[in-house]
A and B are shown apart, each in its own frame.
Chain A
Amino acid sequence: MEPESQPTGEPAGLSRRARAVVAAVAGAVATAVLVHTGIVFFYIAPSNVVSEKYATEIYDYMAPELLQNWALFAPEPLHVNRSLHARARVKTDEGTVNSEWIDLTAIDVAGTRGNLLPSHTRNQLRKGWRTFTNTHNADHEATSMTGLIIESYLKRVALMRMSHHIDGEITEVQLRSATSYVPEPAWSDRSTTDDVSYTVLPWWPVSEHDFPEGSRR
């Protein structure tokens, strides 16, 4: 190589050692950027031959702080209205009675209406239910640690919201989801059923410690 065609990128005035350090750093940064963005790509892209083969390694790199999911409103946009209902088994003077079903999601809908800044509180039931279905089998039994935690969480959210409507001691609580399809657009030929489908969970026992701050005891 002719001397005059040598790269002039090396900062003039820096010693050989300093230049070597900078070059090493440049190499390390370039490697880190490539590795990081590569792993992120395979983690968030649809499942493929690479991400399946290295699923564990990729997950170990991403978890817990880099986890991400951009399947927003996808592949299908949200197209159902889902409410969570709860009822309680209440000890009264006349014995044990079941309360009426109480619509817990109604609070979230009311809190959203006319609000420029709706609160994250409306994610408690909506996202909680999704986590619940992802971590339970068809018999509503938890299949993981997260499943057990989300059960307690949903129970406590329910108690917090329903305790104000119930007189007497709550000994058990039961949740159900009520799901109905959003009506198809008037301008389309499609039609859908107006039926509400229910998923009813088993009764869960309630103890003194299950009532979060803000509940009425």
Chain B
Amino acid sequence: MTETQRSWDAALAMGYERITRSALGTYQTAVVRIGVAGTWLGFLLREWPNRHELYGPEGPLSSDLAAQRVEDNGAFTVLLWSDSAWWFELSYVFAILASLMLLLGWRTRTASVLFMIGVLSVQNRNGFISDGGDNVLHLMAIYLVFVRCGERFSLDAMFRRRAGGSAGGRRGRRPDVAGVLLWSVLALAALTAWAFGVLGGGWLLVFAGLLAVHAVWWIVDRFTGGEPRAVCDMTTNLVHNGAVLVIIVQVCLLYATAGWFKVQGSRWQDGTAAYYPLQVDVFTPWPALSDAVSAYGLPILLMTYGTVIVQVAFPFTLFNRPIKNVVLACLIAEHIGIAILLGLPFFSLAIISADLIFLPTTLLRRVEAKVGGWSARWRGPARRRAESEADADDAEAAGDRTSDTATPAESLDRV
């Protein structure tokens, strides 16, 4: 066996160890969670006055029309389970609360499922008005269900730290009664919906599967510990890491195809494309600003070519960290520009949220330290003392456990 083979074997083994023993990119997935949930929450609140017109049972897309459409395309929506006004209001408020729950990271794994239900329900109720931003949120809502996105910047993480880490599960500690209650209610709700014939068999199976996962976790956490728990933990890590990879590839494919389609257009080729949307009435919230931006050919040329170059190049820049960070900053800056100039704030926020999966860990660590400092100051010195003791316990616990809060992942930086 040659030296190369040996180091290759070692690298493979180390990689396997990493993806089973730890959830990678916990900082990044946490900020994606906050971005996605925050964007959708902002959208729902923004459209609160227009909710009946956009999604309501008596709106232009009446319950009857929407039901025909959903029967045709098979999309999931709880909004059509009843055509009464109170059910609509209830569902809309539910979607808002689910977004808030995920944003704060309270019972994050449950929140992500409820959030997905909210996003799919509202968007599928009227797909005729969805834009690219809705599309990103729709996909992210599904992917986040598979991700340990509450390990950082979340109430879950805060509670866990106060409780002294989660090493070895909850054995010997207070049973999670609230969690069991919550999941029982949700199981009952799913069963009821299925019994009434409004929840399809496929989705019942999905929800039953998710419930089973939570049940297994609860049992190994509380009763068995040891090896079964380690296997559960590794399975969860593997699923998490797989889903993170899917999100990364999804965002890369998004940019790559966006660029790919653009280069086929004559206006993108001759460097004038950025001019046109700035002159379209429904995309000019600030006509004077749009005119100023599109007044000269050279800046338009730079914007047009720059957009194509950055979009097509983005996936390849992942192999070089500094260049990746520069291009990422360009993409985020461009979308902030689009948000203001073209009046597409939620579209831009959705795409920026997905981009956050590529943020450097060092930056997010600094953010974490800063936020930690603020909250410590806010809670006062007495609490801070207690906290630092808990932190010490946490650090101690972190030494001998498998990986619940995971070794902070640098890997995303390295790609």
Contact = CB atoms under 8 A, between A and B. Distances in A.
Interface of A: 1-2, 5-9, 11, 14-15, 18, 21-22, 25-26, 29-30, 32-33, 36-37, 40-41, 44-46, 63-81, 105, 108-109, 112-124, 126-128, 131, 145-146, 149-150, 152-153, 156-157, 160, 182-183, 185-188, 212-214
Interface residues of B, number: 96
A121 B267 CA distance: 29
Nearest to A156: B60
Contacts, number: 254
Nearest to B243: A33
Given A9-B17, A112-B281, A185-B300, 4 more contacts: A2-B1, A9-B16, A67-B135, A122-B282
A73 B277 contact: yes
B254 interface: yes
A2 B235 CA distance: 30
Contacts of B139: 66, 68
A149 B74 contact: no
B297 interface: yes
Contacts of A115: 285, 343
B208 interface: no
A8 B6 CA distance: 12
A32 B257 contact: no
B230 A18 contact: yes
B306 interface: no
A121 B55 CA distance: 10
B230 A5 contact: no
B16 A63 contact: no
B124 A11 contact: no
Contact of A14 (B128, B131, B230): B230
Nearest to A2: B1
B336 to A, nearest CB: 12
B4 interface: no
A157 B60 contact: yes
Given A7-B12, A131-B128, A153-B128, A113 B285 contact: yes
A143 to B, nearest CB: 13
Contacts of B68: 145, 149
A114 B286 contact: yes
B325 interface: no
Given A120-B50, A124-B128, A74 B264 contact: yes
B59 A212 contact: yes
A11 B258 contact: no
A127 B16 contact: no
Label chain B's interface by main secondary structure.
Answer: helix
A209 B249 CA distance: 47
Contacts of A79: 267, 276, 280
10 contacts: A7-B16, A29-B242, A65-B75, A70-B253, A79-B280, A116-B345, A124-B60, A126-B282, A127-B130, A153-B65
A30 B58 contact: no
Contacts of A76: 265-268, 273
Contacts of B76: 64-65
Closest 4 CB pairs of A and B: A75-B265, A9-B13, A7-B13, A213-B58
Contact of B285 (A5, A68, A116, A186): A116
Contacts of A30: 242
B74 A128 contact: no
Nearest to B258: A70
B223 interface: no
A90 B406 CA distance: 69
Interface string B8-20: 0110111111011
A36 B239 CA distance: 13
A75 B227 contact: no
Contact of A212 (B14, B60, B257, B265): B60
B113 to A, nearest CB: 14
